[in-house]
Amino acid sequence: MKTIFVVDDDPVYQRFMQSHLNQLGYQVKSFFTGEDCMENLYQKPFAVILDHYLANGESGMQIMQRIKSVENRTPVIYLSGQDDVSTAVEAMRIGAFEYIEKNGAAFVRLRTAIERLEKVQLRKGNIFMRLFGS
Amino acid sequence: MGWGIRGFAKTGSGFVLHTALKSPEPHIQEFMMTRFSPAILSAQCMGDATLINEVCNVFLELFPGQLNALQLAINQEDIVLTQKELHKIKGTIGVVCLPEFRESISQLEATLKTGKIMDFKPQTYMAFESLKELLEEAKQFQIGKKI
């Protein structure tokens, strides 16, 4: 079973996320801080879902930059409570796979993003197989 | 029209369902005002009954804790902490409430962020009360009552 990391300092949203992702067939590991997530990155999660606004003054952007510097291939889905274009642009510039606002359509968009991510990974796998054989 | 009146007041043509329900009588409109949205919850859960139930249970289990934290912050008159708690709450309620209600919480959060707020306690307390009502509506929904 693939594992998705969820980094959010809000326990309610963590649980919402867990319910949705479990139902989609993913195992979920939740972290309250970016630091905890970084320490577990060696487990190579299928994706990291990262909140913009973390506890202890951590910024989701900084954590994403650190993730990308350590493991560039790990897809990051960036969540934010703010409807702010500049935050979205900045997140995508740093390398977010998707930017999702925590609004009434958040989980619908999350599902779509994960389905898209599965397709991208499958395509990458197919190309690898074609180039290097089985 | 001030923010508080637009978002939370129980008089006038304040809240969103007033127009949605098209009731001619103001007092009936007030009675029918609601914040919880089964439609939003269902859409978020792709109509999956098990998931709706699970998400609603999580909300009912954990949202009171968020409300307590908010109340504490308001009582301490700590604007920064109140803004942070409202930010979390905004994310949480987006899963179960009407977009307009979430927007009103979002506006309050934005106002607090600027630090330029008059009548901090009454405004935030009004928001707190309406969030409590949201919780009550969610409870009613979960026990199968029509809201």
**Using a CB-CB distance cutoff of 8 angstroms, which residues of chain A are in contact with residue B55?**
16, 19-20
**What pLDDT score was predicted for residue B144?**
75
**Location of structure tokens 């506890």:** A55
The answer, yes or no, to whether residue B6 has pLDDT greater than 70, is no
- The residue that leads in pLDDT, A132 or A91, is A91
What count of CB pairs under 8 Å joins A to B?
67
Predicted confidence (pLDDT) per residue in B13-35, tens digit: 334 333 334 444 444 344 344 78
Reported as a pLDDT band with limits 50, 70 and 90, residue A31 is very high
**What pLDDT score was predicted for residue A134?**
59
- The CA angle A9-B52-B60, to the nearest 5 degrees, is 55
In angstroms, what separates the C-alpha of B88 from chain A's closest C-alpha?
Answer: 6
Q: Are A13 and B91 inside 8 Å of each other by CB?
A: yes
CB neighbours of A90 closer than 8 A, spacing ≥ 6? A61
Q: Are A12 and B58 inside 8 Å of each other by CB?
A: yes
Reported as a pLDDT band with limits 50, 70 and 90, residue A103 is confident
Q: Are B94 and A111 inside 8 Å of each other by CB?
A: no
Are A91 and A64 spatial neighbours (Cβ–Cβ below 8 Å)? yes
Average pLDDT of span A43-50 = 94
The answer, yes or no, to whether residue B84 has pLDDT greater than 70, is yes
Q: Are A13 and B99 inside 8 Å of each other by CB?
A: no
Q: Are A102 and B91 inside 8 Å of each other by CB?
A: yes
Spatial distance between the Cα atoms of A96 and A118, rounded to a whole number of angstroms: 15
Amino acid letter, residue A21: L
Q: Are A106 and B44 inside 8 Å of each other by CB?
A: yes
**What pLDDT score was predicted for residue B8?**
54
- The residue that leads in pLDDT, A55 or A37, is A37
The answer, yes or no, to whether residue B10 has pLDDT greater than 60, is no
Mean pLDDT value across chain B: 79
Predicted confidence (pLDDT) per residue in A104-131, tens digit: 889 999 999 999 999 998 888 778 778 8
**What pLDDT score was predicted for residue A65?**
94
Q: Chain A interface residues facing chain B, Cβ-Cβ under 8 Å?
A: 9-13, 15-16, 19-20, 23, 53, 81, 83, 102-108, 111
**What pLDDT score was predicted for residue B147?**
46
In angstroms, what separates the C-alpha of B100 from chain A's closest C-alpha?
Answer: 10
**DSSP structural state of residue B119:** S
Q: What would the two tokens of residue A61 be?
A: 């952007």
CA nearest to B99 within chain A: A104
DSSP secondary structure string for all residues of chain A: --EEEEE-S-HHHHHHHHHHHHHTT-EEEEESSHHHHHHTGGG--SEEEEESB-GGG-BHHHHHHHHHHH-TTS-EEEEESS--HHHHHHHHHHT-SEEEESSTTHHHHHHHHHHHHHHHHHHHHHHHHHHH--
The answer, yes or no, to whether residue A55 has pLDDT greater than 70, is no
The answer, yes or no, to whether residue A37 has pLDDT greater than 60, is yes
The answer, yes or no, to whether residue A33 has pLDDT greater than 60, is yes
The answer, yes or no, to whether residue A24 has pLDDT greater than 70, is yes
Nearest to B10 by CA among B25, B27, B35: B27
Q: Are A10 and B43 inside 8 Å of each other by CB?
A: no
**What pLDDT score was predicted for residue B15?**
40
**Using a CB-CB distance cutoff of 8 angstroms, which residues of chain A are in contact with residue B90?**
81, 102
What ipTM was reported for this prediction? Answer: 0.78
Reported as a pLDDT band with limits 50, 70 and 90, residue B3 is very low
For an interface test with B, the pick among A20, A80, A100, A110 (most B C-beta atoms closer than 10 Å) comes out as A20
- The CA angle A99-A109-A128, to the nearest 5 degrees, is 75
**Per-residue buried b or exposed e for A40-73, using 16+ beta carbons within 10 Å of the residue's own CB:** eeeeebbbbbbbbbbeeebebbebbeebeeeeee
Q: With 0-12 CB in 10 A as exposed, 13-18 as middle and 19+ as buried, what is B42? A: middle
The answer, yes or no, to whether residue B118 has pLDDT greater than 60, is yes
Percent of chain B with pLDDT over 90: 45
**What pLDDT score was predicted for residue B120?**
86
Q: Are A19 and B95 inside 8 Å of each other by CB?
A: no
Are A102 and A82 spatial neighbours (Cβ–Cβ below 8 Å)? no
